[in-house]
Amino acid sequence: MHDVSANGAQIPALGFGTWDLPPDRVQPLVEHALGVGYRHLDTAQMYGNEAAVGAGLRASGLARDAVFLTTKIWPDYFARDAFLEATDERLRLLGVDRVDLLLLHWPSKTVPLGETIEALNAVRKAGQTRHIGVSNFTTKLIDEAVRLSDAPLVTDQVEYHPYLDQSKVLAKLKAHGMALTAYCPIARGRVVDDPTLVRIGEAHGKSATQVALRWLVQQEGVIAIPRSSNEARI
């Protein structure tokens, strides 16, 4: 699987998402995903599973630098001091010195974006994350975040799949040299029985899920982070 280049970051085009996985299964599922070839893990403060994700990474036996690790900070912690403390906690729970990508999980309705972007730049400058970005930002907010940030932003993580048009966000991100990271890339399982995707898959000896993921990652600047609690599907 290829890497996506975005403002200096090299991000594996397929990542393993960990949202809403059964808590007692996170570590073995992460370990399994890495064992079958994933080299990109996605978690978040809000998921409550960073310690298990970190344990799975260590149990895999892979070198830390072999895996691209992303986490996100929740808007409740977007004030500067709270953000710095939350970043420290992310690294402690994951058991790493730094992450590869730190994202703002959702826009805040209360803390000025400038304050949070400044804090995001500060933790990057301190070496706690290699790259920074955002999640669930609209085209207008992408422009504002880019304007406010000293360091380049590398991605906006948004829901994207065959039933959701994100062409406007894609165009905006491309203009800023950023990637789009697609969560819910198989539309929470809806693609599995889609007649069109099934038909395309049958013509190529693939599943409808594989077709949906291929459609995403063959687009320039698009990364997909599917999630599954089924080892065979992983």
The catalytic site residues sit at 47
- Report the candidate in 20, 17, 81 with the shortest Cα–Cα distance to residue 46: 20
Tokens of 107: 């826009």
Residue 182 near residue 222, CB atoms below 8 Å: yes
How many CB atoms are located within 10 Å of the residue 24 CB? 8
Q: Pairing state of beta strands 222-224 and 40-42?
A: unpaired
Q: Which residues contact 200 (CB under 8 A, 6 or more apart)?
A: 206, 208, 211
Query: Please, how many CA atoms are within 13 Å of residue 209, restricted to the half-sphere of its CB?
Result: 13
Q: Are 21 and 29 in contact (CB under 8 A)?
A: yes
